[in-house]
Amino acid sequence: MEGTQTLSARTLLGLPYALKPVFTLFTHCFPLPSGCRLRSTMILGWTVTAVALIAIFFQDQPTPYFQDRELVGTPLSELSTQQMNSINLDAPSHGAFYVMLMSIASVGYVLADVAADELIRDVATHHFDVFSSQRDEDVVLQPVITKYRVFAMLGSFLFMGVGMSGWDYGGDFDFTLEYTQVMLLTG
C-alpha cells in the first residue's frame, strides 16, 4: 500500500478511540433494553470485535506484492522482465477490505471499553463507597485498571513480536504465524 493509504488506515483504526466520548454518550443515551445494560453493551462490543477478526481469518489472503522475498529492496528499474512478472502489482488494492474489518473490530473494542469503564465506575460508587468525588474514584481504581491494561498490551506486543518475526515479515525466525492466524487467535 502507498504511504497515503497506510496513513489513512492508521487514522481509521485510531478514530474510534478518539471518539470514545461519543461512544460514552451513546451508551448513556441509548442503553440496550436489559437489566444489565453495561454488561450487554460489553458483550455486544466484544462480539463485534470477535466477528470482525474471525471474518479476516476466513478471507483468502491475496498474493503478496513480492512473491520472491529476495527482490525486496531492489529498485524496480533493476529487475528483469521475469522478475517483474513475479511481482503482484494489484496487491495494494486488496488492503481496503482488511482495513474496514479492522476498523469494525476497533469500533467493537471501544464500545466494550467504554461499557467496562462505566461498569467499573458503577462498582466503585456502589460497592466501595467512593462517593465524595470523581477524583477519589479515579485514585482508587484507575491505576489498577491501567496497570492490567498495560500488561495486556505488553503481552500482545510480545506475541506479535515472536509470532510474526519470521522470514515472511522481514524477521529472522524460521517459524511465523500468518496474518489470518493471528486474527483468529485474537478473535
* 61 Cβ contact partners less than 8 Å away, ≥ 6 residues apart: 178, 179, 180
| Cα diameter, the chain | 74
Domain that holds residue 116: 3-186
Number of folded domains that form the chain: 1
- The grid cell for 141 is 481504581
- The grid cell for 6 is 497506510
Average pLDDT, integer, range 48-72 = 82
Question: 45: closest CA among 121, 100, 113?
Answer: 113
What pLDDT score was predicted for residue 46?
93
Q: Is 173 helix (H, G, I), strand (E, B) or coil?
A: strand
Range of lowest pLDDT (5-9, 16-20, 91-95, 135-139) = 135-139
Above 80 in pLDDT, residue 19?
Answer: yes
